[in-house]
């Protein structure tokens, strides 16, 4: 199977398995796991922050960040298509009483700045929950996986800070953003007070996310992590793979971006498929299938029969993600499979190729 559903399906590299086997371990809740301590120091340095905390997942990282930044009954302002709004089970609302307040996202993952400004100018009046946090996402998963421009991040950050709010960045794929923007991860993270990034996506580690920020924030997040049941003991098992991820897997993301570009180009030539254009494409391709929901279901079924998996994003839309373990040859194979599946399921007849 060529599994393009997500970069979370990546399996650890042989070097990671080796590192896991050899990792020096201790009790991390006592602060005594040397491998975790080393990973946290590396992560803080990479993000240009004072300190970092290893947590179980991106969801836990964003949740801990929101619980620390936002008192109960305050607002976290975030994108209407943000992962933390759509795909994290409403955790900050359910567990922290945080009022998740969505702002319109443009196609390429930016905020509508006028709407943000209007939201933050909420009068300090008894009618309104006071805002505490603005959260950005880069790359923006539900907006084509696109990298969000630094100038836009600077504008959002400046607006939030002018209103006395904290800024968090969901940087689950910050190294993909760094590559697409030709900027270091720390330059991107500089537009936020706190940042989380995932080890378990393009970096191909089995588990883990790092939440980074000023030391007092990270110490509060450490207590929150414990409260959430995320205090892990010999977590060096996880951190050992993370160290390999940070040292050996960042540069190879360029290969994923090149494969995504080739995939977008190839699928764009298939009659019946419409590839969403991207200004700053990273490792994702979103595309629609002609012929309505039934046609799209048949297409995905026919594609699967030909050994290719993609993820549904709407009744007629799919997401394909390139990652470690998917080669350039696999991409060519996937394009051929998509063309055959489109021809077989007659969605090709519903719309000509884009050219």
**Residues of this chain that bind ligand PLP (CB under 6 A):** 57-59, 62, 83, 137, 141, 170, 172, 198, 200-201, 209
Nearer to ligand PLP, 58 or 291 (CB): 58
Nearer to ligand PLP, 33 or 170 (CB): 170
Q: Report the nearest approach of ligand PLP to the CB of residue 56 (Å).
A: 8
Give Cα separations from 294 to 264, 289, 290, 326, 345 (angstroms): 23, 10, 10, 29, 10
Q: Which of 202, 331, 319 is nearest to 258 (CA)?
A: 331
User: For tokens 């706190």, what's the residue?
Assistant: 194
Q: Report the nearest approach of ligand PLP to the CB of residue 76 (Å).
A: 14
Nearer to ligand PLP, 145 or 291 (CB): 145
Nearer to ligand PLP, 64 or 337 (CB): 64
Nearer to ligand PLP, 200 or 259 (CB): 200
* Residue nearest ligand PLP by beta-carbon distance: 58
Contact 224, 67 (CB under 8 A): yes
Q: Report the nearest approach of ligand PLP to the CB of residue 22 (Å).
A: 25
Q: Report the nearest approach of ligand PLP to the CB of residue 173 (Å).
A: 6
Q: Report the nearest approach of ligand PLP to the CB of residue 8 (Å).
A: 6
Q: Report the nearest approach of ligand PLP to the CB of residue 88 (Å).
A: 7
Q: Report the nearest approach of ligand PLP to the CB of residue 210 (Å).
A: 11
Rg (alpha carbons) of the chain, rounded to whole number: 21
Nearer to ligand PLP, 141 or 259 (CB): 141
Nearer to ligand PLP, 83 or 274 (CB): 83
47 vs 71: CA distance, rounded Å: 26
Q: Report the nearest approach of ligand PLP to the CB of residue 208 (Å).
A: 8
Q: Report the nearest approach of ligand PLP to the CB of residue 207 (Å).
A: 9
Nearer to ligand PLP, 224 or 345 (CB): 224
Nearer to ligand PLP, 13 or 176 (CB): 176
């Amino acid at each position: 199977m060529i599994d393009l559903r997500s970069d979370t399906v990546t399996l650890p590299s042989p070097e990671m398995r080796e590192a896991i086997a050899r990792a020096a371990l201790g009790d991390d809740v006592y602060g005594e796991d040397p491998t975790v301590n080393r990973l946290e120091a590396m992560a803080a340095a990479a993000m240009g922050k004072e300190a970092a905390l290893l947590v179980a997942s991106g969801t836990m990282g964003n949740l801990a960040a929101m619980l620390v930044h936002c008192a109960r009954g305050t607002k976290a302002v975030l994108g209407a298509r943000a992962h933390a709004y759509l795909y994290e089970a409403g955790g900050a609302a359910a567990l922290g009483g945080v009022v998740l307040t969505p702002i319109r996202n443009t196609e390429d993952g930016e905020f509508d700045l006028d709407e943000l400004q209007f939201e933050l100018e909420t009068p300090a009046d008894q009618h309104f929950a006071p805002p505490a946090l603005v959260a950005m996402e880069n790359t923006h998963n539900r907006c084509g996986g696109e990298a969000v421009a630094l100038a836009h991040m600077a504008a959002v950050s400046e607006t939030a800070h002018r209103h006395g709010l904290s800024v968090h960045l969901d940087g689950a794929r910050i190294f993909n953003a760094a590559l697409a923007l030709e900027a270091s991860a720390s330059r991107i993270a500089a537009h936020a007070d706190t940042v989380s990034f995932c080890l378990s996506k393009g970096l191909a580690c089995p588990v883990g996310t790092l939440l980074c920020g000023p030391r007092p924030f990270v110490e509060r997040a450490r207590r929150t992590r414990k409260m959430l049941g995320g205090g892990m003991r010999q977590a060096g098992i996880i951190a050992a793979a993370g160290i390999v991820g940070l040292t050996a897997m960042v540069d190879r993301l360029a290969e994923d971006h090149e494969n995504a570009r080739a995939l977008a180009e190839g699928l764009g030539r298939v009659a019946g498929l419409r590839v969403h254009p991207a200004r700053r494409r990273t490792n994702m391709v979103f595309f629609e299938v002609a012929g309505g929901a039934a046609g799209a279901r048949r297409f995905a079924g026919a594609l699967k029969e030909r050994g290719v998996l993609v993820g549904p994003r709407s009744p007629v839309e799919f997401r394909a993600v390139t990652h470690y373990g998917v080669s350039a040859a696999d991409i060519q194979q996937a394009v051929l499979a998509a063309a055959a599946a489109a021809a077989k399921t007659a969605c090709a007849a519903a719309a000509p190729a884009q050219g």
